[in-house]
Each structure stands twice: as structure tokens, then as C-alpha cells.
Amino acid sequence: MAPWLFACFGRGRGRATASSESPVGNATADLIVEEQRRMGPVLVELFSSQGCGTSPEAEAVATQLGRGGLGGDLPPVAVLGFHVEYWDYRGWKDPFGSSVWTVRQKAYVDALHLDTLYTPQVVINGRAQCVGTDLDAISAALRSVPRFPSPTMQATFQKPAPDTLQVSFTGASGSNVAGRADVMVALFESGLVTDCDKGENKGRVLTNNYVVRRLEKLVSVKGISPKKNLSASLQFTLWDGFNAATCGLLLFVQNSSLHTFGVQQFQIPQDIL
């Protein structure tokens, strides 16, 4: 296998690329608009690193997207931030970086037929990708990727131990997925502030939102229909300083090609503590 190449890109480097997708049928524009109104949010996954000099700008873009700050005709967006660790050798070890997230990014490199890993990268609904600072490319991809209804899951929260969060889900996926589908749940944290004293961002105060701290598979199913009821539970091991008020859950459905078919967000009850 050829060695992996890495790059840290700035604004305007590259254009949006996408996996092959069937075009929309011959529906009228009005029907398409009405259908889109009923759809759930688009999943934006940001792969970044505190050791990459251009990632802070992409983090700001992702935060704007997550808060609906870009407006216009863009669809609603759900953001997850995956911090990779392959820039740690430059002198600053990203406290949120993980080789697990690098493996996830590599899977997208393969699925989207790319040549290299790079930061900052955004992957949109598992079907398109572009540089995380390129607003034009991000906006174009958000408008072009297919959207799907959100799952209609109900979540019940328990804390069986001080360092464990247990969540039980029951409900329907809301979409048709042929073949194997994985229902994934991410536990993310926002409002993280880091004083960076080494590396490319030396001297900067870095703010990170929607940072994935845990990602677990809730259930794997062979074939999903919109009304098929699913029921399963999982547990997250919590970290020191966990605060339910700054964290949230994101449930999403992906097939074996890593295409996303539905996204649902959950707030964590603050009284769970």
C-alpha cells in the first residue's frame, strides 16, 4: 500500500468533489422545494487539528454553520468536529486528537476516491467533501447533496455510575436504506478553549465547538424502512470535567458507503448529574 500523504490547506484550495449520485427525477421545482422543507439537517463532519495553521478558520466556519449563521438558502446543518492527531509531530499535541478519527477520515478518502488526507476537510452527508475554509464550495455542496427525514427516536438518559452515561433509544429511522446500515451516536462537546503555546498556532487562543469526544455504534441493521422500529441502548465513558450543559448527542444513519441517511440531535438533561 502506498504511504499516506498529508496536507494542511488554506482558503480556496481545491473544489468540492462528490461520489457518484443519481440525479433528481423530473419533479417540478415547487415540489422539490416543498419536499426539502420536510427534510432533516445535513451532516457536516469537520476533520481538523489544533496543529494545523488553517484549522482555526475552518472551526469558525463550522461553528457558524452549526448555529445557522450563514443563512441564505442553505439547509439546516448538524456539525461534528473530529480532531486528527497526525499533525502532533509539529510540536503541539492536540488534546482532542485521536487516531480513531484519523481512521474515520481515511475511510472517507477511500470512499470518495481521494489521493490524500488533509486538514481542514469537511465531509457533507458522506457524499461530498471540500476544504473547510472554502465557503463557496461548502455552500454548493450543502445545496446539492440529497437530504433525508430525521429519525424519530426517543432517548432516555441514565447515569449508572459517576463516569458512565447510558442512553436508551427507541423509534424509527425515517428513511429507506438498502443493505447494511449502522445507526451511530456521537457525544460532542462545545465551548472548549485552549491556549496553544507551540506549533503553527503558537500564541493563539483556540475555540472549538461540536468536538466529538465519543462515537459509538448503536445498532447495525440489514435494511431499514422509514417506519421500522429500532430499540437499543449504549453507554459512554465520561471524561473528567464532563458538563451536560456544554454537550449533546447526534444520532445518524450511515450505509456501508458512509452515506448519511438521517440525522437527529438530542440535548442531554442537565439534571442527569
Is residue 189 classed exposed, middle or buried when 0-12, 13-18 and 19+ CB atoms within 10 A define those classes?
buried
Predicted local distance difference test score (pLDDT) of residue 14: 55
In this predicted model, what pLDDT tens digit does every residue of 57-109 receive, in sequence order?
999 999 999 999 887 889 999 999 999 999 999 999 999 999 999 999 999 99
Mean pLDDT across 130-150: 96
* Residue 61 near residue 67 (C-beta atoms within 8 A): no
Residue 24 has pLDDT above 60, yes or no: no
Q: Residue 232 forms beta bridges with which residues?
A: 169
User: Which pLDDT value is given to residue 45?
Assistant: 98
Which residue from 97, 102, 123 is spatially nearest to 111, judged by alpha carbons? 123
Cβ burial, residue 136 (10 Å; 0-12/13-18/19+): exposed
Residue 109's pLDDT is what? Answer: 98
pLDDT in tens, 97-130: 999 999 999 999 999 999 999 999 999 999 999 9
Alpha helix (H) residue ranges in the chain = 29-37, 55-66, 99-111, 135-144
Cell of 144: 446539492
Whether the predicted pLDDT of 136 surpasses 90: yes
Using CA atoms, how far apart are residues 214 and 199, in angstroms rounded to an integer?
A: 26
Under the banding of pLDDT at 50, 70 and 90, the label for residue 272 is confident
**In sequence order, what are the residues at sequence separation of 6 or more whose Cβ sits closer than 8 angstroms to the Cβ of residue 58?**
46, 48, 119, 120, 122, 131, 132, 133
How much is the pLDDT for 179? 86
Nearest-angstrom CA–CA distance, 53 and 30:
43
Per-residue model confidence (pLDDT) at position 203: 97
- 450543502: which residue's cell? 142
CB neighbourhood size of 161 (10 A): 11
* Contact present, 52 and 6 (Cβ < 8 Å): no
Nearest one of 165, 126, 153, 168 to 251, comparing CA atoms: 153
Across 129-143, 181-195, 216-230, least confident range: 216-230
pTM > 0.85: yes
The per-residue pLDDT of the chain, averaged, comes to: 90
155-188 pLDDT, tens digit per residue, is: 999 999 999 999 999 999 888 888 889 999 999 9
Does pLDDT of 3 surpass 50? no
